[in-house]
Amino acid sequence: MRILVVEDDEHLNRQLKEALEQSGYVVDVAFDGEEGHYLGDTEPYDAVILDLGLPAMDGVTVLREWRAAGRDMPVLILTARDRWSDKVAGFDAGADDYVAKPFHMQELLARLRALLRRAAGHASSEITCGPLVLDTAAARITKDGVPLKLTPMEYRLLAYLMHHQGEVVSRTRLTEHLYDQNFDRDSNTIEVMIGRVRKKIGSELLQTVRGLGYRLSPPEEGGGAA
Ligand code: CA
């Protein structure tokens, strides 16, 4: 899952990036509205954390322009505690949720997890795919109740596929959602990682769809769409 953070307070920006990375997300950051707007307009993010008070272009304008351009990723806005009118403007511009500053990082992370799950059509904090269970709060995946030993990258890959189970996910899409913008992307890496994950979860769950990509689905559903 790849997240964009747009926050001009350098300290808070760094705190957010660190907390998100520790939770298993890939993170790009922007420090003003113009840079943030550009990234959100051109890169595929699974969610955005957007401060409203930003230099160069304010957060409400950034969000309104994204929505007008059809960018529909979940957006969580950061507002000043006493500015209820900011929240109204933010929701009217297309925000999905908000936290007021100062906030507890755990609350922000919980709200973000809920946004990501809902965007993928899952209401519960656990996502199940046959014998696999992803606990999004603990950032852990079990198979038949036994925790899988996954590297951080393998976790990201499998968690992304579990959010999008039943879909054929292309290698390009995986690359875009598993690496940040500065990473030297090499699509062979994805293939190698798929091979390792397949060994850990069993090849019947994770199919290669020749020429199109990969599909994670419960064994009884075979090739069916979710
Ligand atoms: Ca600010």
pLDDT of 225 > 50? The answer is no
Tokens 């059509």 belong to residue: 121
Q: How far is the CA of 208 from the centre of ligand 1 (A)?
A: 45
- ∠ CA 73-78-82 to the nearest 5 degrees? 145
Q: How far is the CA of 52 from the centre of ligand 1 (A)?
A: 6
Q: Domain extents for the chain?
A: 2-119, 126-221
Strand 75-80 relative to strand 132-135, pairing:
unpaired
Q: How far is the CA of 46 from the centre of ligand 1 (A)?
A: 22
- Give the model's pLDDT for residue 112: 97
pLDDT in tens, 14-25: 999 999 999 999
Q: To which CATH superfamily is domain 2-119 assigned?
A: Response regulator (3.40.50.2300)
Q: How far is the CA of 33 from the centre of ligand 1 (A)?
A: 10
Q: How far is CA 8 from CA 93, 111, 162, in A?
A: 20, 21, 33
Q: How far is the CA of 9 from the centre of ligand 1 (A)?
A: 6
Q: Which CATH number fits domain 126-221: 1.25.40.20, 1.10.10.10, 3.90.228.20, 1.25.40.10?
A: 1.10.10.10
Q: Are 2-119 and 126-221 in the same CATH fold?
A: no
Q: How far is the CA of 83 from the centre of ligand 1 (A)?
A: 13
pLDDT in tens, 91-146: 999 999 999 999 999 999 999 999 999 998 888 889 999 999 999 888 999 999 99
Mean pLDDT of the chain, nearest integer: 92
